[in-house]
Amino acid sequence: MKEMDDMNYSSKQGESRLKAMLMVVVGGGIISLLLCWAITANFNRLHETALWFKSKAELKATAQRIGLEKIGNYQQAVEKELQTLDKKLDAFQPVGTYIIINTAGNDFILMQEGKAIREGMCSTGSYTVLKGNDKQQWTFKTPRGMFKILNKIKDPVWKKPDWAFVEEGMKVPSANHPSRYEYGVLGDYAMALGQGYLIHGTLYKRYLGMPVTHGCVRMGDEDLEAVFKALKIGSKVYIY
């Protein structure tokens, strides 16, 4: 019974997280429009109150000066745009199986048709900065936003990027030098999100729940396998 209650709580928590993130992705315009609507609404009320204290001779001139008709038209336009953005927000609501990753808490919730089916710890970007030669610089952060699973790989091989050699104080080899390839460090599975970012396994399980990665999302073995099997190519990944 307690386990069922926990999963119900996780489902609600996952939905709340997703809605909050979607508001960031889609709803920046909504917030601005709401502010505009509130300002114009208050503006109207203030002037309606002020007009009670004006003589009839002053009413026409005041109405022309503040452009009440224009304000009314603008408010209608704002409300119409809010309705349009609300429809766009609904279109972003996911269906099927998807995952929500919290970079602040370094945890995830795997969702299926709006219900949490698994949750656990992960590791995301450390936000450390590495400086190389020739003004090169890398910031190790996990990107935020809405992504899709672009590829699924079993027994992935890590092709080390330039920063991996710079970090170790080594000379950067040619693009396809054998020293760039490392086997077994990404776990049994990997899921590509684009631009080199992956959801993959880790050798450093003691660091799960901490922001220690170079930008990828690391998971423990059991969680990784469950997520790999649940998500399909094209499944949504929400990172915030």
Q: Are residues 107 and 86 in the same domain?
A: no
**Whether 188 and 149 share a structural domain:** yes
- 67 burial level (CB within 10 Å; 0-12, 13-18, 19+): exposed
| Between 210 and 22, residue with greater pLDDT | 210
Strands 157-159 and 181-183, bridge-based pairing: antiparallel
Task: Count how many domains the chain has.
Answer: 2
If asked whether residues 116 and 213 sit together in one domain, one would say: yes
CATH number at residue 191: 2.40.440.10
Instruction: Tell which residue, 191, 190, 17, has the closest CA to residue 101.
Output: 17
Q: Among 187, 198, 189, which Cα is nearest to 153's?
A: 189
* pTM passes above 0.85: no
Q: Each residue of 59-117: pLDDT tens digit?
A: 566 656 656 566 566 567 778 878 887 777 777 778 899 999 999 999 999 999 889 99
Residues 210, 167 share a domain: yes
Residues 126 and 49 in one domain: no
What is the domain extent for residue 88? 2-92
CB 14 within 8 A of CB 120: no
Domain co-membership, 11 together with 61: yes
Q: Evaluate the CA torsion angle 187, 190, 193, 194 in order and state its sign.
A: positive
Q: Does 191 lie in the same domain as 220? A: yes
